[in-house]
Amino acid sequence: MTNQDDKKRPYSAEDEEEAFAQMLALAESQEQPQVKSEEPSTKNLRANNSEAVAYDTVQSLSKAEQVAQHYNTRRELGVEGRMHTKITGLRTFNNWVKTVLINENTTPGCKVLDLGCGKGGDLRKWAYARIGEYVGMDIAQVSVLQAENRYKEMRSPSFSASFFAQDCYGEPLEKTIRPPNYQADIVSAQFCLHYAFESEAKVKQMLHNVSSHLRSGGKFIFTVPDANWLVKMMRTKNSETFGNSVYQVKFAQREPITCYGFAYDFTLDEAVEDCTEYLVHMPSFVSLAETYGLKLVYKQGFHHFYGEKITVKKNLDLIFKMRVVDETRPEISAHEWEAIGIYLAVVFEKE
């Protein structure tokens, strides 16, 4: 699900204009930097031999309507624009995480249901994973049309695709998706699931939508802010507001922390400004998900995800192919690295 105006919402799948194929092509034509096999440091990702590298929308609108309005009015930075911003390292690193997460949980020919597909920013990633069928859904109709156009512009796409505009958290998918009983092998929700935590009812509707359209043995994969990390930072800093030059988090209150509807405002430089988000209380979510037949099989913060996955050569190669670091930008800044630590990569499996 996607949310709020050009500078209003947290980082999402559509916040980077996908240049995935272009990145790969560029990388293949260039000599790759040499990286030692020793375990890399995760303090600051480097490309050298020693380390592997809206809120002013109309207040009368419902939250869902604000989400749609945001995505329907976002401007496009373009490929080059997104590769030369203050948070380029963060954007490309998050792209790398999603690519690895997708590659490790898909099989050739599988069916994918992408909740919060935005403008189709992850289509190239799914093509790279050689899926067979794709269904993209998002609350913003204009974004869905752009995603569909992006798919049509792909050269000989290896998978079929269909797109639907709908609130994936507030309504049953059967209202729009065709066929109504569509079953996927993978359900994906990238940088958007936390919006469901506005209320328990929305979380339950979201889980119903995932479970009822995911086959037995299928995977539910998503990336989401880490509530434990956010609350720990608030308490460590002894302040409702914290951050650095890249991001800022502002809680309205410290206590009591509730399982649903515990809001904070999030700002990400050049991308988001004072967007209202909600803590995802993971223990409660895991317990509730089990009642929908969904079992947690993987949960890791992005820093540890990097340290774990970078030991696999193909994942390390992707760091360079996707230009997470390169000769012109040899490392991710310390402030970006701190902001990257906000997020979790999570996988559930349908029983």
Residues belonging to the binding site for S-adenosyl-L-methionine are 98, 116, 138, 167, 190, 195
Q: What is the CA radius of gyration of the chain?
A: 19
d(CA 308, CA 163): 34
Measure the CA–CA gap between 88 and 295, rounded to whole angstroms. 34
Q: Enumerate the known binding-site residues for mRNA.
A: 94-95
In the chain, the amino acid numbered 169 is Y
d(CA 87, CA 13): 15
Query: Do strands 184-190 and 160-165 pair parallel, antiparallel, or not at all (unpaired)?
Result: unpaired
Q: Do 1 and 67 form a contact (C-beta atoms < 8 A)?
A: yes
Pairing of strands 111-115, 343-350: unpaired
Q: What angle do CA 186, 117, 16 make, to 5 degrees?
A: 115
What is the four-CA torsion angle of 76, 77, 79, 80, rounded to 10 degrees? 160
- Residue 85 CA to chain centroid, in angstroms? 19
Query: DSSP of 74-121, one letter per residue?
Result: PPP-HHHHHTSSTTHHHHHHHHHHHHHHHHHH--TT-EEEEET-TTTT
Annotated binding site: 94-95, 98, 116, 138, 167, 190, 195
Please answer whether residues 106 and 131 qualify as being in contact, where contact means their C-beta atoms are separated by less than 8 angstroms: yes
Strand order in the sheet with 343-350: 160-165, 133-138, 111-115, 184-190, 214-225, 343-350, 294-301
Which runs of E-coded beta strand occur in 166-260?
184-190, 214-225, 241-243, 247-251
Angle 233-347-243 (CA atoms, 0-180°, nearest 5)?
20
Distance of alpha carbon 52 from alpha carbon 35, whole angstroms: 6
State whether the Cα torsion 304-112-123-196 is positive or negative: negative
